Amino acid sequence: MQISQRAENMPSSPIRKLAKYADAAKRNGIHVYHLNIGQPDIKTPECALEAVKHIDRSILEYSPSQGYKGLRTKMVSYYANYGIDLSPDEIIITTGGSEAVMFAYMACLNPGDEIIVTDPSYANYMAFAISCGAVVKSVKTSIEDGFKLPPMEKFEEQITEKTKAILICNPNNPTGYLYSKKEMLRLRDLVKKYNLYLFSDEVYREFIYTKAPYISACHLEGIEENVVLIDSVSKRYSECGIRIGALITKNKAVREAVMKFCQARLSPPLIGQIIAEASLSTPQEYMDEVYDEYLSRRNFLINGLNKIPGVYSPTPMGAFYTMVQLPVDDAEKFCMWCLTDFSYEGQTVMMAPGSGFYTDPAEGRNQVRMAYVLNKEDLGKALLVLAKALEEYNRQSQATD
């Protein structure tokens, strides 16, 4: 028996592919510092935890396929605070932001259609495209200039008669780059010129570390029907496990198409929606404290990384990730070695190999993605372990040359 060609082509997640080695290290008594995955260690808001404790239902029923209207109505007020004018009917609740991406692809792209992403990009954008039979084309950005968006001419070079969409993540995962207003307006003009969809993943809007105003794709005038916004509560409220996201668009035809897929999967998680609705009442004080904590962690990690000989990371302007250049030839090999053959005082680090975030796996071979979702004490220990690992790894490499 053979598996499908689609399954053969599906890439392993760079974020999770080494998990079995981390598990083995833990079984051997090694403490693993997880810098590989965006799982915050910050406590979920109390109002969300209280909602879990006080669920008073005799039946845990299906919800409507588009999600509960109470949640969608409350989300309207949330988006209004960011200058985004919506109605509940323009919001569709999904099983995490991942399902929102998948449904956007399935509703808007035919097999063989092309979608343009910036390189590096979140690995699942490519994986979902393979699942849908779409083709990902990339516009390269560089760690040397902080992954700055290249000129629009670079996008136009990738546009063909099969191009149907551009996908951005703002603030960006995995680079932490933040699109400026000028860049967003240029993207708008390009989308309008070629009549493309603009898929905009904006799950990290709370975490912008500059004084620049937040510019959503939904703020761009003249392409309202082209924009499909992807969102999630996972990182905002430290609720990755409840799997609640949203697909938002003013394009009625897209919403009706998405709803067919929503009906086929029946309904988004009931309990998750209850928690998400309660979370929208999270006090601003909580959000401010979380913001300050991530900003402090960012500064601590980037400063520490750039003090390690041969290591370089630009300063991310948003989200809680950074791409890091290491003094190794093969970062994936190094990441695996850290889990299988190395420990320092009973500790090691787990990172996501950078090549998995590029459309061409030959790119980013000396890079890793790190998430600064651990407290500063643990980040400090992880930095020490990383420095010791690089020292030992390169010593061994030189000895075998």
CATH number of the structural domain spanning residue 353: 3.90.1150.10
Q: Is residue 49 domain-resident?
A: no
Can you list the positions of beta strands (E) in 290-386? Answer: 321-325, 347-350, 352-353, 367-371
- Structural domain boundaries, residue 362: 5-43+284-393
Average pLDDT of span 157-168:
97
How many structural domains is the chain composed of? 2
As a whole number, mean pLDDT of residues 60-71 equals: 97
Q: Is residue 48 part of a domain?
A: no
| Domain co-membership, 268 together with 288 | no
pLDDT at position 398 is 77
Mean pLDDT in residue range 243-257: 98
Tell me which of 248, 264, 279 is where a domain ends: 279
Identify the residue whose tokens are 């989308």. Answer: 191
Q: What is the largest CA-CA distance in the chain?
A: 68
Region 4-30: what's the mean pLDDT? 87
Residues 63 and 35 in one domain: no
Residue range 261-283, pLDDT digits in tens: 999 999 999 999 999 999 999 99
Return d(Cα 139, Cα 137) in angstroms, integer.
Answer: 7
User: Cβ of 358: how many Cβ atoms within 10 Å?
Assistant: 20
- pLDDT at residue 397 in the model: 79
Per-residue pLDDT averaged across 367-395, rounded?
Answer: 97
Residue 51 lies in a domain: no
The percent of residues in the chain predicted with pLDDT above 90, rounded, is 91
Point out the domain boundary residue: 250, 279, 308.
Answer: 279
Does 14 share its domain with 117? no
- Among 228, 260, 279, residue at a domain's last position: 279
Average pLDDT taken over every residue of the chain: 95
Cα(147)–Cα(239) distance, integer angstroms: 28
Same domain, 358 and 251: no
What distance, in Å, lies between the first and last C-alpha atoms of the chain? 43
My answer on whether 93 and 233 are in the same domain is yes
| Residue 401 confidence (pLDDT) | 62
Instruction: Determine, yes or no, domain membership for 301.
Output: yes
**CA gap 44, 61 in Å, rounded:** 25
Given strand 367-371, what is the order of strands in its sheet?
321-325, 367-371, 352-353
Same domain, 139 and 251: yes
- Grade residue 165 by pLDDT with cuts at 50, 70 and 90: very high
Per the CB < 8 A criterion, the answer to whether 310 and 326 are in contact is yes
CATH number for position 240: 3.40.640.10
Distances, alpha carbon 368 to alpha carbons 23, 94, 329, 344, 363, in Å? 20, 30, 12, 20, 11
- Could you give the C-alpha distances from 120 to 172, 240, 360, in angstroms and in order? 10, 23, 9
Segment 370-394 shows an average pLDDT of 97
Does position 10 have pLDDT exceeding 90, yes or no? no
237 closest CA partner among 277, 270, 194, 189: 277
135 pLDDT exceeds 70? yes
Shared domain check, 288 and 275: no
Q: Do 211 and 252 share a domain, yes or no?
A: yes
Dist CA 34 CA 372 (whole Å): 9
Residue range 202-219, pLDDT digits in tens: 999 999 999 888 999 999
pLDDT for res 5? 84
**400 domain residue, yes or no:** no
How wide is the angle at C-alpha 207 spanned by C-alphas 154 and 81, nearest 5°? 100
Q: Helices 96-108 and 123-132 sit at what angle, rounded to 10 degrees? A: 40
Domain-embedded: residue 52: no
Shared domain for 30 and 64, answered yes or no, is no
pLDDT, residue 291, reads 97
**113 touches 134 (CB < 8 A):** yes
Residue 322 domain flag: yes
pLDDT digits (tens, 9 = 90+) for 103-125: 999 999 999 999 999 999 998 99
Q: Where are the alpha helices (DSSP H) in 266-307?
A: 270-279, 284-305
Asked whether residue 305 is domain-assigned, the answer is: yes
Say whether both 117 and 256 belong to one domain: yes
Can you say whether the dihedral through the CA atoms of 350, 351, 352, 354 is positive or negative?
A: negative
Q: How far is CA 102 from the centre of its chain?
A: 14
For residue 15, pLDDT beyond 90: no
Strands in 240-286 per DSSP E: 245-248
322 & 263 share domain: no
Q: How confident is the model at residue 399 (pLDDT cuts 50, 70, 90)?
A: confident
pLDDT given for residue 258 in this prediction: 98
DSSP strand E in 20-141: where? 31-34, 91-94, 114-119, 135-140
* Residues 92 and 17 reside in one and the same domain: no
